[in-house]
């Protein structure tokens, strides 16, 4: 069976997966374990660290009340965790494998090659990497066709987003299978057509982070001021409206088209150290059309009404958390 790379009779339907292997059980890998257990899967975990089981069980125990409150899948139980003695044992019967090793390219190349060699053919292997492209990570794999990136956000048992993208030698069926599987497993999936360093969300996060570091380095703001500027400001809109729809609303009734046509020149203002792109007609039209699509047929007035309700609901939710602090 090994060496077969295409989807085959041994490839389970994404909906039929019952056994998931998690290789690497630190903060991210352990978070994946907690997530899959809560969704009712059997999880086989392995980590090279001596005595990792205790730490992993503490992480799961800490997450379980929240997961219970959110609603466990039928049959979900922390008893469905199996600790494997070796990597090969962990993946031998797996129907899906999630790798969450430290961010070290050589380490990931070795590890993924070992995982690939030991995992039944037709089973998709996914990496939690937050930065490396699959093309470079899959270099030494015997059957690289079924390897994908499935990049989660911390903590993986709560934040829905997973970015899925293949490498140059990944086949399209594996990308599609992984996207569908993550959806079935309760995640929000963005399937990317091409490899971009840092994927999408981390590029955006990094842009903020670098600007924040520049401000601290120059004595322009403190970390506390930077954080407050987000938590008391734009951060209250971002759970409902991303940066594109946020600026779509900033254009008033004219939406993104008005925004770009009237405020486009201010793109060049020295407001941040990231250089602005040229606002070509193509970019303008892509943004306008993209915001129409992202609006899903909802008018600006609808979006504004939703935003206001969301901001109120989010502020109340956060107030509750702050007041309930131990």
* Distance spanning both ends of the chain, measured CA to CA: 54
Q: For residue 114, what are the contacts with CB-CB under 8 A and spacing of at least 6?
A: 87, 88
Q: Does residue 161 touch its own copies according to CB under 8 A?
A: yes
Tokens of 1: 């069976």
Q: How far apart are CA 73 and CA 207, in angstroms?
A: 37
What's the rounded Cα separation, in Å, for the pair 137 and 246? 36
Alpha-carbon Rg for the chain in angstroms? 22
Q: Does 216 participate in binding its own copies (rule CB under 8 A)?
A: yes
Q: What tokens were used for 53?
A: 């089981």
| Lookup: tokens for 239 | 């759970």
* Binding segment (CB under 8 A) for its own copies, from list 42-50, 78-86, 166-174, 192-200: 192-200
Nearer to its own copies, 5 or 202 (CB): 202
Window 259-278: contact mask with its own copies (x via CB under 8 A): ----x--xx-xxxxxxxxxx
Only one of the segments 46-54, 116-124, 134-142, 299-307 lies at the binding site for its own copies (rule: CB under 8 A); that segment is: 299-307
Closest distance to its own copies from the beta carbon of 19 (Å): 26
Considering only residues 37-66, where is the footprint of its own copies by CB under 8 A?
A: 62-63, 66
Looking at the Cβ atoms of 92 and 279, the one nearer to its own copies is: 279
Of residues 214, 254, 258, 323, which one binds its own copies by CB under 8 A?
214
Main-chain dihedrals φ then ψ at residue 107, nearest 5 degrees: -60, -45
**173 vs 238 by CB, closer to its own copies:** 238
Binding residues for its own copies restricted to 89-128, rule: CB under 8 A: 103
- In the numeric block, the tokens 């699959």 are attached to 134
Bridge partners for 45 per DSSP: 22, 83
By CB under 8 A, residue 300 contacts its own copies: no
The pair of three-digit structure tokens given for residue 81, joined into one six-digit string: 């965790």
Residue (41 or 199) nearer to its own copies, CB: 199
Told to check if 78 binds its own copies by CB under 8 A, we report: no
Q: Does the protein bind its own copies through residue 254 (CB under 8 A)?
A: no
* Choice between 119 and 295, CB closer to its own copies: 295
d(CA 234, CA 64): 31
């Amino acid at each position: 069976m090994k060496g077969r790379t295409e989807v085959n009779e041994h490839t389970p339907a994404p909906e039929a997966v019952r056994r998931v292997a998690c290789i690497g059980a630190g903060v991210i890998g352990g978070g994946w374990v907690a997530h899959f257990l809560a969704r009712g899967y059997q999880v086989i975990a392995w980590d090279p660290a001596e005595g990792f089981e205790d730490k992993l069980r503490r992480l799961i125990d800490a997450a379980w009340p929240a997961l219970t409150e959110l609603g466990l899948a039928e049959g979900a139980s922390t008893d469905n965790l199996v600790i494997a003695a070796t990597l090969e044992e962990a993946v031998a019967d797996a129907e899906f494998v999630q790798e969450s090793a430290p961010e070290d390219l050589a380490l990931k190349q070795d590890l993924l090659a070992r995982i690939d060699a030991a995992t039944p053919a037709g089973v998709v292997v996914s990496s939690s990497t937050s930065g490396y492209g699959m093309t470079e990570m899959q270099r030494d794999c015997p059957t690289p066709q079924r390897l994908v990136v499935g990049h989660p956000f911390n903590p993986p048992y709560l934040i829905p987003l997973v970015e899925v993208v293949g490498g140059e030698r990944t086949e399209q069926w594996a990308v599609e299978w992984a996207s569908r599987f993550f959806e079935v497993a309760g995640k929000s999936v963005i399937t990317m057509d091409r490899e971009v360093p840092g994927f999408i969300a981390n590029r955006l996060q990094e842009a903020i982070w670098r600007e924040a570091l520049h401000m601290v380095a120059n004595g322009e703001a403190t970390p506390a001021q930077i954080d407050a500027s987000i938590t008391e400001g734009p951060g209250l809109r971002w759970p409902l409206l991303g940066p594109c729809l946020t600026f779509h609303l900033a254009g008033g009734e004219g939406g993104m088209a008005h925004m770009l046509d009237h405020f486009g020149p201010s793109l060049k203002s020295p407001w941040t150290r990231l250089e602005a792109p040229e606002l070509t007609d193509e970019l303008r039209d892509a943004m306008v059309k993209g915001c129409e699509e992202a609006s899903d047929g909802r008018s600006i007035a609808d979006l504004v009404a939703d935003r206001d309700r969301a901001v109120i609901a989010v502020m109340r939710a956060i107030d509750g958390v702050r007041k309930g602090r131990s």
